[in-house]
Amino acid sequence: MPIFDQGYQHWKGKLTGHAWRWLAITRQGLRVQLKGRYVRLLLVLAWMPAMALVSALAIWGLIEQGVLGADLVTMLKSQGVVDDLQSLRQAIWTIAYSLFFKVELYFILLLVTLTGPNLISLDLRYNALPLYLSRPITRLDYFLGKLGVIAVLVAAVAVLPTMAAYLLGVCFSLDLTVVRDTWRLLPASILYGLVIVVSAGTLMLALSSMSRRSLYVGLTWVGLCVISWMVAGVLGLVRLESLDNQVAREAEAAQRDKAQQELERVRQRPKDDSQEFDEMDFTQPLEESDASPVPPQPPVLPPRKRPGQSRRFDWQERQRLVHQEDVKSRKTNWRPLFSYADNIDRLGAALLGTDAAWVQIGRVYERRRVQVESMAGISPGGWSNNYNYKAEPANERCLAELWNVPQYPWTWSAAVLAGLLGLSLCILSTRVRSLDRLR
């Protein structure tokens, strides 16, 4: 085959600036990742929570228009439970976005598990770093290009669905005031996605640069996420057990004090029935009385309880006290800081304002509950007739406590994630060296 020496040929392609050189690495990385069958399947599954978010916002828009649940809304308005549905719009949208991100976070972590381990480990395994760094790119361009792969995937399953759901929710509401009430959710969602990308992306790249085998990197990432979640869960169970023991000790101490007071009261009585009987004078004749004898009255017995009812009553009261102590100490509960996913979720709750939204919905729920109990003849804080239910006073934080919305300061989680970010950057700067330092 003849070989023709064509000599020098001038470049006729389009030249780009230095600021976009990392984009070529991102495009190549995405092209390789999307060839995987499991990655494509996971991307499809990750869109299912987005469909649920769109459905929730669409249903609420139809409820506001009176197409769905008109009779129920009219009844709630007539009873004074709800003044105006527009006042609950921001809370409903915030809760919908919060539940979406809470579920989507696990899909994102799983997606990072499938796509992240081979981003740098394969380059180390096949000695591709000299090829990268011999080109007119720097280590920062290399890092940004690899991080861009994770950023595009996270944006595809988290950020873009929230924007599409927002537009569809506005369309179903048919009211432009919804933009005024809910516009804060858009920048909060974008910022939350950025937090996930920076935190999970840099940590995965750091782990990927520490080994030439992608399997070991993936197992390390899974172990970090799962083991940290298990440690936080075990510490939480230990905390609840300690609170239960504390309530039991306080109950036993209260019973001992009550018994001691009863004993002191008995000892301080001047006379009892036996002493009065001993001091009676039986030598004197009894005075006759014309009054007819009073027939003996049967003793009044307390209502008979079913077997095991008192034990169940004590257990319910004990659990109620444990729950109260748990709620009081949630603002200083540091155990969730050991879980990587919980730290990210805590920042998301702070950005979206999840706690305030649950409080607003809980205020409406408690108003309705108190009305139903008052119609049943149960006063707030009193027991029902069957001794199995105690009507708690109105608590607007009941739903926030039920859904376990984190109460500890979000700055704690931010400090933990900032520490992991600093450690990841230190590892990356050590493992991926400049071309003149490569061996």
Provide the 8-state DSSP code for 393: P
Number of folded domains that form the chain: 1
At residue 303, what is the residue type?
P
Spatial separation of the C-alpha atoms in residues 123 and 112, rounded to whole Å: 18
Residue 273 in domain? no
Residue 5 in domain? no
Could you list the pLDDT tens digit for every one of the 439 residues in the chain? Answer: 455 556 666 767 776 677 788 888 899 999 999 998 999 999 999 999 999 999 999 998 888 887 787 777 777 777 667 777 888 889 999 999 999 999 999 999 999 999 999 999 888 888 887 777 777 788 888 899 999 999 999 999 999 999 999 999 998 888 888 899 899 999 999 999 999 999 999 999 999 999 888 899 999 999 999 999 999 999 989 988 888 888 888 878 888 888 888 778 777 766 555 555 455 555 555 555 444 555 555 554 444 444 444 454 567 778 878 888 888 888 899 999 999 999 999 999 999 999 999 999 988 888 887 777 777 666 665 555 554 556 677 788 888 888 888 889 999 999 999 999 999 999 998 888 764 454 4
Sign of CA dihedral 377, 381, 382, 387: positive
Nearest to 77 by CA among 93, 64, 58, 91: 64
Helices and strands in the chain, H and E counts: 18, 0
Residue 295 in domain? no
Residue 93 in domain? yes
Nearest to 323 by CA among 226, 232, 398, 418: 398
Nearest to 78 by CA among 70, 88, 86: 70
Q: For residue 215, give its domain range.
A: 18-254+312-437
Question: What value, to the nearest 5°, has the Cα angle with vertex 415 and ends 339 and 155?
Answer: 70
Residue 287 in domain? no
358 and 96 Cβ atoms separated by less than 8 Å:
no
Give residue for tokens 């936080």.
232
Residue 185 in domain? yes
Q: Report the SS3 class of residue 352.
A: helix
Residue 118 in domain? yes
pTM for the full predicted model: 0.81
